[in-house]
């Protein structure tokens, strides 16, 4: 059994996550909330971009929808943030279903650009329909006194995403998505229901970002169109998954930790330098490491290769036969 097991790494991360609010400062908790939100976004994007192979630049659209739905419910009707987040998640799914049906018919780069355009349309609507959304002024929410409950909810969601991704990776559903990514029409000719699976993955990848959007608004105490639909957020999310490893369980975790380090060093003081660096990182990753760190690790052996469930089931079947 050579190499690190993903379970081991995840266990360590989990331990740190639970311990943090007890030992960490307010600043650490605040920073961690941001990190965890990005983690959730990265894991969501990983499903549609990494596994199903439908990369796109519009996930921040769902984030923004969630942010506004949650904020408006909170602002106008006083609905508590955790319920608003659930409503936001539902809103994300409801929008994603018909949208996916329409957009997923487009081929790769058209789908990516189309989703980018959609996010810009949503931003324009948020800006333009200012009687509903507060337009450029934005919406100011009652600030939350203690960030800890936010932290726990976000951490729980992040953990759930990791768990679901692990289950996906070790299931036949995961293999079907990878088949779509590798060769969609071959997959279709071999009986895989590609349309159904694509739309399902797309909807699934919209739920968590919508919820995170609404929580982010509560965290900031404020939301406006550039914040809700920030293209920089999109780039950072994609960079995390690309750098870490698309279509893997640990990729988004590795990527978001690494980029948050860069973030921590640069963002507060030199936001432009930070963003330019993220751009450089994505560029370098595309040029030299398109499959990401985790896949590099698998190929050089310090991480176990492939998806362990099938190998172990196969081994057990072999033993049963002999």
User: In this chain, which of 36, 96, 239, 294 binds other proteins, going by CB under 8 A?
Assistant: 239
Which of these ranges, 16-24, 29-37, 228-236, 258-266, lies near other proteins under the rule CB under 8 A? 228-236
Among 70, 35, 74, which residue's Cα sits nearest to residue 211?
70
The CA distance from 158 to 52, in Å, is 20
The beta-strand segments (E) located in 116-272 are: 139-140, 222-223
Per CB under 8 A, does 108 bind other proteins?
Answer: yes
Do β-strands 139-140 and 222-223 pair in parallel, antiparallel, or remain unpaired? antiparallel
Give the N- to C-terminal CA distance of the chain in Å, as an integer: 22
Least CB distance from residue 93 to other proteins, whole Å?
Answer: 20
Residues 285 to 314: which contact other proteins by CB under 8 A? 286-287, 290, 306-307, 310-311, 313-314
User: In this chain, which of 106, 164, 230, 289 binds other proteins, going by CB under 8 A?
Assistant: 106
Token digits of residue 4: 């690190």
142 DSSP assignment: P
Bridge partners of residue 140, in order along the sequence:
222
Per CB under 8 A, does 109 bind other proteins?
Answer: yes
Per CB under 8 A, does 133 bind other proteins?
Answer: no
Least CB distance from residue 94 to other proteins, whole Å?
Answer: 19
Q: Considering beta carbons, is residue 178 or 203 the nearer one to other proteins?
A: 178
Which of these ranges, 79-87, 149-157, 200-208, 279-287, lies near other proteins under the rule CB under 8 A? 279-287
Per CB under 8 A, does 110 bind other proteins?
Answer: yes
Residues 247 to 266: which contact other proteins by CB under 8 A? 247
8 DSSP assignment: H
Token digits of residue 53: 């192979």
Among 104, 93, 114, 96, which residue's Cα sits nearest to residue 53?
104
Distance of CA 183 to the CA centre of its chain: 24
Which run of H or of E encompasses 250?
A: none
Residues 242, 245, 202, 163: what is their CA dihedral angle, to the nearest 10 degrees?
Answer: -140
Per CB under 8 A, does 176 bind other proteins?
Answer: yes
205 close to 218: Cβ distance less than 8 angstroms: no
User: In this chain, which of 79, 97, 113, 258 binds other proteins, going by CB under 8 A?
Assistant: 113
Per CB under 8 A, does 237 bind other proteins?
Answer: no
Contact mark string toward other proteins, 187..216, x via CB under 8 A: xxxxxxxx----------------------
Token digits of residue 64: 């923004």
Residues 37 to 96: which contact other proteins by CB under 8 A? 55, 57
Alpha helices in 129-193 (DSSP H): 130-133, 148-169, 172-182, 184-189
Least CB distance from residue 114 to other proteins, whole Å?
Answer: 5
Q: Which residues bind other proteins (CB under 8 A)?
A: 55, 57, 102-103, 105-110, 112-114, 116-118, 120-121, 124-125, 127-128, 171-172, 175-176, 178-179, 181-183, 185-194, 231-232, 235, 238-239, 242, 247, 272-273, 275-276, 278-283, 286-287, 290, 306-307, 310-311, 313-314, 317-318, 321
């Amino acid at each position: 059994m050579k190499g690190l097991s993903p379970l081991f790494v995840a266990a360590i991360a989990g331990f740190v996550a639970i311990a943090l609010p007890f030992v960490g400062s307010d600043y650490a908790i605040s920073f961690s909330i941001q990190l965890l939100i990005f983690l959730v976004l990265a894991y969501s994007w990983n499903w549609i971009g990494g596994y199903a192979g439908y990369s796109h630049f519009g996930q921040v659209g769902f984030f923004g929808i969630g942010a506004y739905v949650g904020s408006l419910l909170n602002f106008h009707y006083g609905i508590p943030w955790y319920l608003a987040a659930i409503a936001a998640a539902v809103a994300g799914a409801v929008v994603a279903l018909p949208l996916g049906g329409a957009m997923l018919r487009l081929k790769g780069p058209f789908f990516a650009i189309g989703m980018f355009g959609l996010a810009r349309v949503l931003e324009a609507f948020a800006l333009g329909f200012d009687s509903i959304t507060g337009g450029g002024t934005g919406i100011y929410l009652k600030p939350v006194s203690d960030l800890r409950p936010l932290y726990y909810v976000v951490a729980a969601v992040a953990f759930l995403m990791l768990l679901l991704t692990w289950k996906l990776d070790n299931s036949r559903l995961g293999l079907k998505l990878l088949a779509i990514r590798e060769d969609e029409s071959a997959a279709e000719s071999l009986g895989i229901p590609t349309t159904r699976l694509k739309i399902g993955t797309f909807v699934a990848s919209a739920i968590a970002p919508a919820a995170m959007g609404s929580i982010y608004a509560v965290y900031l105490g404020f939301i406006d169109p550039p914040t809700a639909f920030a293209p920089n957020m999109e780039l950072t999310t994609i960079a995390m998954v690309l750098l870490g490893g698309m279509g893997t369980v640990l990729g988004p975790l590795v990527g978001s930790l690494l980029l948050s380090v860069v973030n921590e060093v640069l963002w507060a003081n030199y936001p432009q330098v930070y963003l330019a660096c993220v751009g450089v990182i994505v560029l370098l990753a595309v040029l030299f490491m398109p499959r990401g760190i985790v896949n590099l690790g698998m190929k050089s052996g310090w991480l176990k290769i492939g998806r362990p469930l099938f190998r172990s089931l196969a081994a057990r079947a072999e033993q049963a036969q002999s």
